[in-house]
Amino acid sequence: MKRAREPEDNNGTVHGSRDRASTSSVAPKASSLRPKCPYLDTVNRTYLDFDFEKLCSVSLSNMNIYVCLVCGKFFQGRGPRTHAHTHSLHDFHHVFMNLHTARIFCLPDNYEVLDSSLDDIKRALFPSFTPAAIAQLDTNTTLVRDVHGVSYLPGFVGLNNLKSTDYVNVVLQALGHVTPLRNYFLQPSLYEAGAKNQLVLRFGEVMRKLWSQDNFKSTVSPHDFLQEVVSASGKRFAIGKPGEAVDFLSWLLHQLHVGLGGTMPMVGCKGGEGGKKKKAGRRSVVLDCFQGEIRVRTLTKARKDWTVGGRGEEEGDEDDGTGRGNGAQEEKEGEPAGEWAVSETRSPFLFLTVDIPQTPLFKDSQGGVIIPHIPLYSVLDKFNGVKVVDAVKAGVHTRKQYWITRLPQYLILSLARLTRNHFFVEKNPTIVNFPVKNLELRDYFLPEAGLPTEEGLKTMTVGELKGFVQAHGGGDAKEAVEREDLEEQARAVLNEVAGTKYDLVANVVHDSPPGQEKKEAARGEATPPGTYRVHVFNRASDQWYEIQDLHVQETLPQLITISESCVLIYEKKGVERARGCGRGH
């Protein structure tokens, strides 16, 4: 007859009848609550660091991990013959805290410690924010001190570079200053229960540590987040492997959207405006912040259907985006045979990629490289609906025109600086001058038909105002008691839908080493050398900060506009209504 399995205690230790008889005299008593502990004076907060992966320092297990509040080491379990229990006997360290529940115990006596003097340690492990505290984050100018006496401003702290992870740090810093996204992830109750992947939880932990006033250090190490990134991306983004900030940003936004329960966004069908659209997917806070819509008009013609000077074209190259490529020039010389096939689509986007003109081939009089300066508006002409982008590929001549039909609350612009081929990766050093305040996109925005103006809102009836607010996602219009309140709500909705002015909130910069514009493309490596840094804006003090890994310093807005920017994040003016504490999805 088989022997029944021995029971398992709360500490994860299996005891048989003989074991219980032989250890009854030395086994600790069952866990009980005691208000006082004689070893609280041994707690040393300067040794505590909760940023690292929660693994036992002996067994490397991640189950049931405790931290010694005396030396800061991680150990597994607290029962007899566990590593934490052994450590308490050998080193006379008696106060331990569970890293998963924040419960504090005294070992080897194994009783729980309840003392308010240890609450700051629990807040450092699990930072929390109330709605009132979140509402005051953008008005806070008070510096706080860590346990080492170093002052820091919450939200403007350095991130540790874990070997070639600077591109991850700048993306985290930039997204941490997108107000609705930040406010949402500061409240884990909104997404923890419905999270589809661990990346959402790890991202929320980093956001809370960046904005916490209870950190024991003035810097944050995104170790847990990076470990989850390596796992979720299949080592596409790995520690020690350089990457591009825009690639990681695109991947991260998609993963956060899916992890929050979102589905693929709605895509318009071809064939013009009369076609029906597919059913909209489930939204998330990511789409609420960054999703816009672009309208693309495409003209295509097969090569056999058009001739050049009485004979067919033999070779065609992609146009450089200026509308003056080979196809456009040669078609003027000869009469095209056949007609263009026209189609229109409406596609959602999370960020817009703009092309930068190539640098001049010639050098200046002293033999130096000429670095041109161009305004941002010149590269945005691609989306004015007039400029034609030509391309000839696989025997098909394609012409495209772009309009922006819906502008998001936060507009991400990616400046395409890299050129790749089989031999090297080249970075375009052209300086794109962009406005820090009042970026006007009226010339690139095609508003939907029938949208009222601010003056038109005054002539609308109460029923029409309520219908307009509800139709454009402005919440429940029944909350407005007076007509003035309803008009104010309608103006806020109109600005969100038709507003075209933006202010810069974050700027990601890639700095190349001097004289290294080109790099040979090795196998599996196609990233140019250099480092990333980010500029973020503090609304409370109207001050810009430059953050590069652990280094945080003030900077001038005049220096931001002449940097080699690769990612720009703009906030639409007048989106105070969207700066709430977030909402569930």
CA distance 229 to 243: 13
How does pLDDT run across 562-574, given as a tens digit for each residue? 899 999 999 998 7
Distances (CA, A) of 315 to 49, 109, 303, 396, 397: 62, 83, 10, 11, 11
pLDDT over threshold 50, residue 312 = no
For the ranges 211-215, 329-333, 349-353, which has the lowest average pLDDT? 329-333
Query: What's the pLDDT band for 472 if we cut at 50, 70, 90?
Result: low
How does pLDDT run across 206-220, given as a tens digit for each residue? 999 999 999 999 999
Q: At what angle do helices 223-232 and 166-175 cross, to 10 degrees?
A: 100
372 burial (CB, 10 Å; 0-12 / 13-18 / 19+) is middle
Nearest to 349 by CA among 426, 302, 292, 270: 292
Residue 489: per-residue pLDDT: 72
Contact indicator for 190, 583 with CB cutoff of 8 Å? yes
Contact indicator for 183, 512 with CB cutoff of 8 Å? no
- 3-state SS, one letter per residue, for 317-377: CCCCCCCCCHHHHHHHHCCCCCCCEEEEEEEEECCEEEECCCCCCCCCCCCCCCCCEEEHH
Q: Find the radius of gyration of the CA atoms of the chain.
A: 29
> For the CA atoms of 464, 469, 472, 475, what is the dihedral angle to 10 degrees?
-150
Residue 13: per-residue pLDDT: 44
pLDDT over threshold 80, residue 388 = yes
Residue type for position 52: F
Average pLDDT on 389-399 reads: 80
Query: What's the pLDDT band for 195 if we cut at 50, 70, 90?
Result: confident
Residue 272: per-residue pLDDT: 41
Residue 25: per-residue pLDDT: 39
Residue 460: per-residue pLDDT: 74
CA distance 246 to 415: 9
Residue 526: per-residue pLDDT: 60
Specify if 441 maps to a domain.
no
CA angle 544, 549, 555 (to 5 degrees): 20
Average pLDDT on 354-370 reads: 75
- Tell me which range, 205-214, 324-333, 441-450, is most confidently predicted by mean pLDDT: 205-214
Nearest to 350 by CA among 279, 434, 410, 426: 410
CA distance 42 to 184: 38
Specify if 254 maps to a domain.
no
Residues β-bridged to residue 152 = 144
Average pLDDT on 60-76 reads: 93
More confident residue, 318 or 413: 413
How does pLDDT run across 81-138, given as a tens digit for each residue? 899 999 999 999 999 999 999 999 999 988 899 989 999 999 999 999 999 999 999 9
Average pLDDT on 330-340 reads: 50
What residues contact 4, with CB distance under 8 A and at least 6 apart? Answer: none
pLDDT over threshold 80, residue 456 = no
pLDDT over threshold 70, residue 235 = yes
CA distance 413 to 21: 70
Residue 557: per-residue pLDDT: 92
Contact indicator for 215, 124 with CB cutoff of 8 Å? yes
Residues β-bridged to residue 568 = 413, 507
Tokens of 366: 């002293």
Specify if 166 maps to a domain.
no
Contact indicator for 96, 105 with CB cutoff of 8 Å? yes
Per the structure, the count of domains in the chain is 1
For the ranges 25-34, 171-180, 426-435, 548-557, which has the lowest average pLDDT? 25-34
Specify if 319 maps to a domain.
no
Summary mean pLDDT of the chain: 79
Residue type for position 420: R
Q: State the CB neighbour count (10 A cutoff) for residue 78.
A: 26
Domain that holds residue 41: 33-124
Query: What's the pLDDT band for 21 if we cut at 50, 70, 90?
Result: very low
More confident residue, 1 or 263: 263
Beta strand extents in 154-288 (DSSP E only): 158-159, 219-220
Specify if 74 maps to a domain.
yes
The CATH number that applies at residue 116 is: 3.30.40.10
Residue 468: per-residue pLDDT: 67
Collapse the DSSP code of 159 into the 3-class scheme (helix H, G, I; strand E, B; otherwise coil) and give the result: strand
Residues 136-162 as b or e (16 or more Cβ within 10 Å = b): ebeebeeeeebbeeeebbbbbbbbbbb
Specify if 390 maps to a domain.
no
Average pLDDT on 287-291 reads: 91
pLDDT over threshold 50, residue 271 = no
pLDDT over threshold 80, residue 146 = yes
How does pLDDT run across 510-552, given as a tens digit for each residue? 988 765 555 554 444 567 778 999 999 999 999 999 999 999 9
Tokens of 524: 């599996």
CA angle 32, 38, 41 (to 5 degrees): 125
pLDDT over threshold 50, residue 64 = yes
Compute the residue count for the chain: 585
Distances (CA, A) of 553 to 169, 261, 381, 470, 550: 16, 38, 35, 44, 10
Residue 128: per-residue pLDDT: 92
More confident residue, 279 or 369: 369
Contact indicator for 559, 551 with CB cutoff of 8 Å? no
Q: At what angle do helices 245-259 and 198-210 cross, to 10 degrees?
A: 110
Residue 336: per-residue pLDDT: 47
Specify if 256 maps to a domain.
no
Distances (CA, A) of 335 to 88, 304, 307: 89, 13, 7
Residues β-bridged to residue 104 = 97
CA distance 273 to 270: 8
> For the CA atoms of 76, 77, 79, 84, what is the dihedral angle to 10 degrees?
40
Residues β-bridged to residue 95 = 106
Q: What is the pTM of this model?
A: 0.79
Contact indicator for 288, 180 with CB cutoff of 8 Å? yes
Residue type for position 265: P
- The tally of CA atoms less than 13 A away on the side-chain side of residue 312 is 10
Specify if 5 maps to a domain.
no
- % the chain with pLDDT above 70: 74
Nearest to 71 by CA among 100, 103, 54, 95: 95
Phi-psi sector, 35: left (phi>0), alpha (psi -120 to 50), beta: alpha
